[in-house]
Structure 1
Amino acid sequence: MSNSLAMRSMAHVWHPCTQMKLHEAQPPIAIARASGPWLYDVDGKRYLDAVSSWWVNLFGHSHPHIKAALADQLDRLDHVMLAGFTHAPVVELSERLGALTGLGHAFYGSDGASATEIALKMSAHFWRNSGRAGKSRFIGLAGGYHGETVGALAVTDIAIFREAYAPLVRLAATVPSPDARGAQAGESAADVAGRCAAALEAWLAEHHEQTAALIVEPLVQCAAGMAMHDPEYLRLVRALCDRYQVHLVVDEIATGFGRTGTMFAHQQAGIRPDFICLSKGLTGGTLPLSAVLTTDAVYQAFYDDEVARGFLHSHSYTGNPLACRAALATLEIFEQQDVLTRNVALARTVSDALAPLSTHPRVRHARHLGMIWAWDVETTLPDFARRYHHHAMARGALLRPIGRTVYAMPPYVLDAEAVHCLAQGALAALEATLAEEPRSP
C-alpha cells in the first residue's frame, strides 16, 4: 500500500520545494496518521517529527485540546466571509494577540508569504496615505527569507528561490546580516550586531526618503541555516528606524510562539515593532492561518470616508472561524501549561542529549536558542543534505538539513524516548553520511 500511494502521489501531486525527478530514487513516504511528536507511515513505521513539519507543530499532532476546540467550532460555524461580517473566534483571537504583542489591530491571511505581502503593502500604503508616496521601497537582510510569492521574494535573499523569477521581482535593498558566525577576530556577537547596524545606518542616511520599511527575522534567520544574532541588533535597528522614519517589520512566522524561548523573539530585545507577521505555530500546526498586527497610527492612516484609502486586500478565507479557534486553543495551552517555563527544562535535557553531536570533530558553530538547535557540518559532499535526510529517516528521525547545516526544531512535547531518538538518530545519520565521502587517493 505504501508503494502504491507513493506512486500515485508522484503521478498526480506536485510536491513543494522538491525536484520531482529525485523521487524516482526516493519516493515520498506515505503518512497515515500522527500522534504527539510521531508520524506513522502506512506500513506502521514511525518517525520523530524533529522539524515540526516545517516548524508549525508546537504541541504534537492530534492534540486533544485543539481537536476538541475544532470539533466544537465545526458544530457552530465553519466559515463566513469577513467582509461585512464578524464572529467570536476572530474577535477573541485579535484581542489576545493584541494583548500579547502590544499591537492593537490584526489583519488575517492564510500563510507566511501572504503575511509578508500584507505587511509590505500596508507599509507602502500608509506612506501614500500620509502624503509620502515616494517611500515605497524596502530593505531586507542578506540571507533573509520571507516567503516565495512574488512580493515576498522581493525581500528574500536566497538565490535558489528567486533567480528563476527575477524578471517578475522588484528587488529590495539588502544590508549585511548580523549572523554571529560572521564574527571577525576578537568580535563578540554584539560587536557583529553593531557593525551591521552601522552599515544599515549608512544606507538609511542616503535612502530613507524612498524607504518604507525594513523587514527582519528576529534573532534567527531560519532558512539561512539557522543564522543567529544578538538582540542588540534589534535594539539598534529600532532606534534607526525611528530616526529615519522607516517602519520596522518583524517576521515572527518561524520564530514566534516560544521557538526562541520567549513568546516572540523580538521581546528579548525589549522593543515594539511597527508590524509583526505571524503564521506557522499560530494554530499549533493544524490549519493554515497568518496574521499581521500593527499600530494604532498605521490603522488610523487608512480610516477615512474614501474607499481607496482603505486597505483593499483580501482572500476568501480571511479570518476563517475554524483556523481562529485552533489558534485560540493553542494560546490556551500556553496559558494553562506554563509552556515557556517547561521548555527551559526540556531544552536543557535535549541539549545534554545532543552534546556528542555538538562536540563532533566535523561540526562547526554548534548553537542553540530556545527550542532550536543547529550545527554546521564540514563536508565535501555537494548533496550532503539529501544524504543526511535519507540516513536520518532510516533511523526514525525526520531531519532536513539546510545545505550543510543540520538543525532540530521539535515539538514541545518530547519525552525521554523521543529525546533519545532525536539524539541518537541525528548523530548516527551524521556518521553514516560522512562515511560516504569519497576517500582521498
Structure 2
Amino acid sequence: MSVCDPEEGMHHLYGDVLANHIIAPLPQDDASEAEFFRLLDHHAHELTAIITEPLVQGAGGMLFHSPDVLRTLRAAADRYGLLLILDEIFTGFGRTGTMFACEQAEIVPDIITLSKALTGGTMALAATIARPHVFEAFLSDNPEHALMHGPTFMANALACACANASLDLFETEPRLEQVAAINTHLTRELERCRTLPGVKDVRVLGAIGVVELEKIANPDALRQRFIAENVWIRPFRSIVYLTPAFTIPPEDLSALTDAIYRVLSTGN
C-alpha cells in the first residue's frame, strides 16, 4: 500500500502510518527527466529502489510510456546504486505484446513481481523473482540473516498446479500471435471513436485498448448503458478500456468495440 499513491484513492486513509516514498514523474521528456534526476540527487542517501509498472500504469489510468523510459530507469538505478523493481502483475505474460513488458526495452530488472495471468486468473498466486545478487544477499543458514517472511498460503499446491497448466498453454498455444491479432483489431475498431465528442485520446498497446474521455460525468450510469448493450465494460476514472482474454473470438471483441462506439456516440 505504501507505494501505491498513498495520498489518493483507497490508500489515502493509511497515509499517516505508511512509510514515506518519493513519487517521481516518469522521465518522458526533458522537463520530467530533469525533475526525476533532481529528486534522485536530493534523496539519494535515503533511497533503496525505483519501482514502476513497465510500459503501462494500469490502475493509474492505463497510461502508456515508451521503452526508452525503462532504459532511463535502468541506467538511473545503476548510476545511483538502486534496485530496479518492475511490477509486471498486469503487464506480464503477453499483455503488452511481448512475454514481459521489460523485454521491449531490452533491460532486466533486479526484482520483478508477477501474478494475474500466472494462473490464468483461476487461482490466487503471485511470484516475486529476484536476480542472483538480491537472492544471495538473504541466502543463509542463519535465521537472523535470512529473509524469514512469507505468506501463509505460499506455494499453495493447487495454485501452483494452475500456474503450471497456464504456463504449459503459453508454450503450446500461440499466445503472442493472439495478442498481435487483438492489437490490430482494437486499433482498427477503436480508432473511429477518436472523432466522437468528449473523446480525448484513443490508444492501444498489445491487448489493451483505451478510449480516454475529457471526463465521465456518471460512471455508474455509463456502466448501466453498457449493460443494456449486453456487454460488461467498466468505466474507470476518465477512461473506457478493454483488456480481453487472449482467446477471445473476433466477433466477441467486435461486440465490445461496437458497444463502446454506440454508447459514446450518444455522450457519456
Q: TM-score by structure 1 length?
A: 0.58
| Map of 1:395 onto structure 2 | 229
Partners of 2:71 and 2:105 within 8 A in 1: yes
Partners of 1:215 and 1:251 within 8 A in 2: yes
Partners of 1:208 and 1:245 within 8 A in 2: no
Letter in 2 for 1:412: F
Question: Matched residues in 2 for 1:236 and 1:416: separation?
Answer: 37
1:370 correspondence with 2:206: yes
Report the structure, 1 or 2, having the larger helix content. Answer: 1
1:209 correspondence with 2:45: yes
Partners of 1:362 and 1:377 within 8 A in 2: yes
Question: Matched residues in 2 for 1:252 and 1:432: separation?
Answer: 36
| Map of 1:155 onto structure 2 | 3
| Map of 1:293 onto structure 2 | 129
Question: Matched residues in 1 for 2:124 and 2:22: separation?
Answer: 30
Question: Matched residues in 2 for 1:402 and 1:253: separation?
Answer: 19
After TM superposition, give the deviation of residue 353 of structure 1 in Å. Answer: 2.4
Partners of 1:391 and 1:433 within 8 A in 2: no
After TM superposition, give the deviation of residue 305 of structure 1 in Å. Answer: 3.4
Q: Secondary structure at the match of 2:129?
A: strand
Question: Matched residues in 2 for 1:365 and 1:297: separation?
Answer: 42
Q: Secondary structure at the match of 2:23?
A: strand
Q: Secondary structure at the match of 2:144?
A: helix
Could you tell me the percent identity over the aligned residues?
A: 34
1:330 correspondence with 2:166: yes
Letter in 1 for 2:233: L
Question: Matched residues in 2 for 1:378 and 1:302: separation?
Answer: 48
Higher relative contact order (CA 8 A, sep 6+): 1
Q: Secondary structure at the match of 1:223?
A: coil
Question: Matched residues in 2 for 1:422 and 1:288: separation?
Answer: 27
| Map of 1:358 onto structure 2 | 194
Larger radius of gyration: 1
Question: Matched residues in 1 for 2:190 and 2:250: separation?
Answer: 13
1:404 correspondence with 2:252: no
| Map of 1:102 onto structure 2 | none
- Within a 5 Å distance, the mapping from 1:71-86 to structure 2 comes to none
- Within a 5 Å distance, the mapping from 1:57-68 to structure 2 comes to none
- Cα distance change on mapping 1:301 and 1:318 into 2, 3 Å: same
Partners of 2:198 and 2:267 within 8 A in 1: no
| Map of 1:176 onto structure 2 | 25
After TM superposition, give the deviation of residue 351 of structure 1 in Å. Answer: 2.4
User: Deviation digits for residues 260-293 of structure 1, max 9, x if unmatched?
Assistant: 1111111110000000010111100100000000
After TM superposition, give the deviation of residue 432 of structure 1 in Å. Answer: 4.5
Question: Matched residues in 1 for 2:182 and 2:235: separation?
Answer: 22
Letter in 2 for 1:322: L
Q: Secondary structure at the match of 2:15?
A: helix
Question: Matched residues in 2 for 1:217 and 1:155: separation?
Answer: 11
- Cα distance change on mapping 1:332 and 1:162 into 2, 3 Å: same
After TM superposition, give the deviation of residue 194 of structure 1 in Å. Answer: 5.1
| Map of 2:116 onto structure 1 | 280
| Map of 1:111 onto structure 2 | none
After TM superposition, give the deviation of residue 193 of structure 1 in Å. Answer: 4.5
- Cα distance change on mapping 1:253 and 1:275 into 2, 3 Å: same
User: Deviation digits for residues 150-172 of structure 1, max 9, x if unmatched?
Assistant: xxx21111612222222222221
Question: Matched residues in 2 for 1:236 and 1:425: separation?
Answer: 39
| Map of 2:250 onto structure 1 | 416
| Map of 1:228 onto structure 2 | 64
Give 1:342's match in structure 2, choosing from 178, 187, 205: 178
Question: Matched residues in 1 for 2:242 and 2:87: separation?
Answer: 20
Letter in 2 for 1:289: L
Q: Report the aligned-residue RMSD.
A: 1.7
Partners of 2:182 and 2:206 within 8 A in 1: no
Question: Matched residues in 1 for 2:210 and 2:44: separation?
Answer: 35
Question: Matched residues in 2 for 1:358 and 1:242: separation?
Answer: 40
More divergent stretch after superposition (195-204 vs 323-332) = 195-204
Question: Matched residues in 2 for 1:194 and 1:258: separation?
Answer: 30
User: Deviation digits for residues 326-353 of structure 1, max 9, x if unmatched?
Assistant: 1111111111112102321232123222
User: Deviation digits for residues 298-335 of structure 1, max 9, x if unmatched?
Assistant: 11111223211111112221011211111111111111
Question: Matched residues in 1 for 2:29 and 2:231: separation?
Answer: 35
Letter in 1 for 2:245: P
After TM superposition, give the deviation of residue 396 of structure 1 in Å. Answer: 1.6
Q: Secondary structure at the match of 2:220?
A: helix
| Map of 2:157 onto structure 1 | 321
Question: Matched residues in 2 for 1:353 and 1:262: separation?
Answer: 22
Q: Secondary structure at the match of 1:287?
A: coil
Instruction: Write out the 4+ residue segments of structure 1 that deviate beyond 3 Å after TM superposition.
Output: none
1:427 correspondence with 2:257: no
Letter in 1 for 2:4: T
Question: Matched residues in 2 for 1:314 and 1:162: separation?
Answer: 23
After TM superposition, give the deviation of residue 358 of structure 1 in Å. Answer: 3.4
- Is there any run of 5+ residues in structure 2 with no aligned partner, and where? none
Give 1:247's match in structure 2, choosing from 83, 89, 95: 83
1:167 correspondence with 2:3: no
| Map of 2:100 onto structure 1 | 264
Partners of 1:193 and 1:233 within 8 A in 2: no
